[in-house]
Amino acid sequence: MNYLSVCSGIECATVAWKDLGWKPLGFSEIETFPSDVLNYHYPDVKNYGDMTNYKEWKINEAVELVVGGTPCQSFSVAGLRKGLEDPRGNLALTFCGILDRFRPKWFIWENVPGVLSSNKGQDFGSFLGALVELGYGFSYRVLDAKNFGVPQRRRRVFVVGHLGDWRPSAKILFESESLRGDIKESRKTGESLARSITASLGNRQDATADNFITKAYSVREDAKANNFSATELEVSTALQAQRPSVQSHHAQTFIAKTKVYENHGTDSRIKEVDVSPTVTARWGTGGNNTPLVHEDFVRRLTPIECERLQGFPDNYTNIKENCPDSPRFKALGNSMAVPVMKWLGERIQAYETE
């Protein structure tokens, strides 16, 4: 499988898919430290930089899959919920332009759960509407890294798409029990967002790389008029039995009932947990953002421990002598969790070879 990675960060996908024999055709990352990590580990793979320049990219081989998690700030509570009015949020629509440019058979898109409710679901509806116009079927689901063998609570929305048909994507994201309707009932009610958007678009097939953003905003207005809502799906319990094998040091990072500081500063308190709180890009920036654990004494988490919490090999981000901790924490906090991406890749591989 030849793939293109955008918003690559430190390249979770390539670490996850190494054993599958998949080939990265290019990366797209603009931040300095993650770019240095990419160059250190993958010197032969071109980093195309700014993803908004995708029309200029010269890739000679066919792109079979595009993967990326566009910036989440505009879709999260911390990002002031500006949604698609924030230029960072519009990169979700740039992602659609990349799909239109390279026409991959598959795509994987990741974001924070806040994307489901941003602007009452209309922002996510705009994104899904653009996918429909480009001819992609898709499924989406909330997955938590703690169910894949790493001791970290990290819930993320994953959208898996397949050109021309939604059923392959459903087979990737959902177990057979879920497809038969056995999945635990959602905590929220409402129409199926995908079905509603498909009905509103009809059979329009006139989207191009130059006009899809306008059409996506048109879908947003349709969504507002029809009061569409995004439905958050529960993770099936069957996922536990199907999670990939994990190296033992991941499970040992947080021993059962490890004590961590739930909050810092004047409101600090110790709490016993089975898994780590979500690794964030703010960790290691000082003040209340220092990740602390309580053993016989209070200490901060190390970058290696955070690499393990995300499923990366030890010292993956330690790319030079005396490498500072702060950019390592930030890069890891912005990354996807490796075991989750590995699970998705393995399921796509199984589907392609069945």
Q: Could you tell me which residues come within 8 angstroms of residue 335 by beta carbon, excluding any fewer than 6 positions away?
A: 9, 10, 12, 310, 312
Q: What is the dihedral of CA 152, 173, 47, 35, to 10 degrees?
A: -10
**252/234 Cα distance (integer angstroms):** 27
**65/85 Cα distance (integer angstroms):** 28
**136/105 Cα distance (integer angstroms):** 9
Catalytic residue, candidates 72, 96, 306, 323: 72
CB 105 within 8 A of CB 163: yes
Side-by-side strand order, sheet with 155-163: 23-26, 2-6, 65-68, 106-111, 155-163, 136-144
Coil, helix or strand at residue 22: coil
Q: What is the dihedral of CA 304, 28, 42, 314, to 10 degrees?
A: 10
**Rounded (5°) CA angle 94-221-169:** 50
Per the annotation, the verdict on 72 as an active-site residue is yes
**43/13 Cα distance (integer angstroms):** 16
**104/126 Cα distance (integer angstroms):** 20
Q: Which ranges of 103-211 does DSSP label H, i.e. alpha helix?
A: 122-133, 167-173, 176-179, 193-201
Q: Could you tell me which residues come within 8 angstroms of residue 50 by beta carbon, excluding any fewer than 6 positions away?
A: 28, 30
Q: Which residues are catalytic?
A: 72
